Each structure stands twice: as C-alpha cells, then as structure tokens.
Amino acid sequence: MTVDLPIIRLRPKTKPQAIRHGFPWVFADEVVTDRRTRALRPGGFAVLEDAERRPLALVTVNPESRIIARVMDPDPEAVIGREWIAARLRRALALRERLFDRPFYRLVHAEADGLPGTIIDRFGDAAVIQPNAAWAEHMIADIADALREVTGVSTVVLNGQGRARALEGLDERTEILSGALSGPVEVPMNGAIYLADLAHGQKTGLFYDQRPNHAFGQRLAQGARVLDVFSHVGGFGLAALAAGATHATCVDGSAPALELARGGARAMGAEARLTTRQGDAFAQLEALAEEGAQFDLVICDPPAFAPSKQALEAGLRAYERVARLAAPLVAPGGYLGLCSCSHAADLSAFRNASARGIGRGGRRMQLIHTGQAGPDHPTLPQLAETGYLKALFFRLDG
C-alpha cells in the first residue's frame, strides 16, 4: 500500500523518536511543506517518513490544520477501511464492557482509543459520533456502519459542533445517520437519572467524564444542601439528590439544559428537592451571596476557560474568580468542588488558581480529593490533551 500513498517527511532537525514512542501528532512546522504537501487532500492518508526516508507510520493529513498529520497506524502498510475501524471499535468496546454494567459510556476517546480526532458516546441503543478530524468526516459512513456492526446500536447521530472542528476547517452540522430519536434519552448514572438531548444538546448531550467525580461528591452530599454551578443537565446536582441531599440548586445559563435537569429530577422522584436558576453563573454567585445563601456543598464545573495556551492567563483568572465567589457560599465545615476541563491549564496551575481564589474569598481550606475523568476517557501519557479534566474538592473552615 505504501507505493500508492503520498509521502510526507519530517524536517532534518525534527527528531522521530516521539512518533516511534507513541506521540500521535505531527505539527506543520515539523514537516517539509512543499507545494506537493500543501496540495494533499484534507483527511487523506500518507506515509510519514523521517528525514532519512525511513517509514514511521501511516498518517492522516490535513494541510489546513496546525496538526498536519495524525498517526492512524504505526504500520505504514495498514489499510484504513471499515474493517480497520471495526477492529478499533471492538478493542474499545471490550474495555467499556469490563468497566460498566450498562451500555452508557464514552466508547471512543479519540487518539487514546486509536481513532484520531473521533469521539463516540453511547447511550444504550443510540450513539453519538463527533468527527473532529477531517478523515473521520470523510469516512463517517464507514464509522457508522462499523459502529452498528460492533455494538448493535440502531440510532447513530453525527454531532459536528465545536471548536475542534473549526481548527480542522470543518463546517458545523448535526444529522441523524440512522434510526430515530423521539426525545431526550434517559441515562442512569451513579443512581441518578439524566436526560440527554442527543440531537440538540451540548457536545454529545451528556458529560460522562465527570462520573467518578459525581460519585465522590455523593459522599459529601448525604443530608446536605447542595449548589451545582454551571450544572448543564444537572450533573452534580442530580447525583447529590440520588445520594440523599436534602436539596439541590442548579445554576446554568441554558434554559433547555435546566429543563432537562428538572426532567431528570422528575424521573427520579426528586423534583420537589430541586431548584433551578438560569443566568450568568458569576452574576448568580454574586446574587446568592447578597441573599445570604449558604450550602453544605458547592460544586462549580465551568466550561473550558483556557482552551489554548494563548487563553491560559485569562482562563486562570476566571478559575480564581469562580473560587473566590463560591467560597463564601460554603457553610463552615462544608465542602467546595472546583473543576476544569481546560487542557492548557495543568493540574498545578489550576490548583494554585483555585487556592488563591478560596483564600481571597476569606476562607481556609484543606484539599481532600483530586479527581480526573473516568476510565472510559483513557489518556495517552504522551499527549497531555487526553488528560484534560481536573476536579478538586476542598473542606472549608473559617
């Protein structure tokens, strides 16, 4: 197959060891980008060679992206087709079936599961694909066919939204590729019931990555008054109600997301213990302070304030502000959970910003738990971006 594929070559000063040791990306400034390379079709395949013309891997290329090549297979002779995709899906499925009793999980976590730039979340008999790389966009029919074959799902949704697609030069689009949806899907998780809007919701409709952090929060929520800020469809709030919280307040800017949170509470028989507040989270935190509100457990799970290195400084200031505004709302001896899904802000930077904010909020703290994404979001040690989620739980005094 190598004779049929174009070749891209590393620059002489670019060391190939990273690729040989599992790093999955090649950046545009690391390859010889002549006219032939720039003319390659986004999403096509090529053989990556080192400067001495030794094959390194089969890659997918996108001259329009800063990540010009993504490793598809370390075997330059590999054939990328439906059977190759199905083999990767079977491997991913075997892990999830060992981890979970019911088919609700992230099935494919992009590079970490060997399908670069591709996210697949499973919701029982339905699955949502996010093709965030050009190759996956072009081969979406093969991915969907292999997905149905391997998992047996009948409904497959393409969710083509988000920043990652824009960086690949891909348009936004959402489409039901097979099957049908009659409304939000009920998702059981940690004893709670969530409603996920697979066709119109944020990302794939639900954030499975917080599952273990929801579970830890449940330990602190029994008999507690709980505030869940940036709640989306009620992630931490509904988990807290399932664990025996006396009351939960969910704050989010999205009215549809809060309606799904209320629907989840109804499905759990806990609607009377849930309050929702729609609006800007920072403004709501300030308003709650003015009202003199106090909670035994406050959890803030904001969007990525630092989605890139360029946004890091401003993002860390935003995380600090969240902590500063949230800390006074925690009753003495209560708990504060702070989360970040920004891969550009590493754990140390996020922890320092959170601690500064808590201190400036006039509180003393103990850090009692550090969490990450669940095991259905495996990480590549070579690629920090796959380990993006951080969750810090503090006990506050003073």
The string of pLDDT tens digits covering residues 263-322 is 999 999 999 999 999 999 999 999 999 999 999 999 999 999 998 889 999 999 999 999
Over 80: is that where the pLDDT of 206 sits? yes
Over 50: is that where the pLDDT of 241 sits? yes
Residues 111 and 242 in one domain: no
Whole-number Å distance between alpha carbons of 116 and 158: 16
Which residues, other chains included, contact 171 with Cβ-Cβ below 8 Å and sequence gap of 6+? Answer: 160, 165
Over 60: is that where the pLDDT of 1 sits? no
Q: What is the CATH number of the domain that holds 138?
A: 3.30.750.80
pLDDT of res. 164:
87
Residues 148 and 35 in one domain: no
Domains in the chain, number: 3
Please tell me which residue in 250, 300, 339, 341 is annotated as part of the active site. 341
Each residue of 333-392: pLDDT tens digit?
A: 999 999 999 999 999 999 999 999 999 999 999 999 999 999 999 999 888 888 899 999
Residues 120 and 218 in one domain: no
Residues 146 and 88 in one domain: yes
Quote the domain boundaries for residue 326. Answer: 185-397
Run of H or E residues at 157: strand 155-160
* 377-to-45, 92, 149, 217, 388 alpha-carbon distances in Å: 26, 11, 22, 19, 10
pLDDT of res. 107:
98
Last residue of a domain, one of 73, 107, 123: 73
Please confirm, yes or no, whether 250 is among the known catalytic residues: no
Residues 98 and 61 in one domain: no
Residues 308 and 364 in one domain: yes
Residues 148 and 165 in one domain: yes
Last residue of a domain, one of 11, 46, 73: 73
Whole-number Å distance between alpha carbons of 331 and 225: 10
51-54 long-range contacts (CB < 8 A, ≥24 apart) are 51/9, 51/10, 51/11, 51/12, 51/14, 51/16, 53/9, 54/16
**Rg value, the chain, Cα:** 22
Q: What is the CATH number of the domain that holds 320?
A: 3.40.50.150
User: Other CB atoms closer than 10 Å to residue 99's CB: what's the count?
Assistant: 11
Q: What is the CATH number of the domain that holds 59?
A: 2.30.130.10
Strand partners, 192: 189
Residues 96 and 111 in one domain: yes
Residues 148 and 189 in one domain: no
Residues 210 and 158 in one domain: no
Each residue of 71-109: pLDDT tens digit?
A: 999 999 999 999 999 999 999 999 999 999 999 999 999
Nearest residue to 144 (alpha-carbon basis) of 111, 125, 120: 120
pTM over 0.85: yes
Residues 190 and 272 in one domain: yes
Residues 380 and 251 in one domain: yes
Each residue of 135-161: pLDDT tens digit?
A: 999 999 999 999 999 999 999 999 998
pLDDT of res. 2:
44
pLDDT of res. 163:
84
pLDDT of res. 282:
98
Which residue stretches of 299-369 are H helix?
Answer: 312-326, 347-360
- The model's confidence at residue 200, banded by pLDDT at 50, 70 and 90, is confident
Q: What percent of the chain has pLDDT over 70?
A: 99
Average pLDDT score over the chain: 95
Last residue of a domain, one of 178, 201, 232: 178
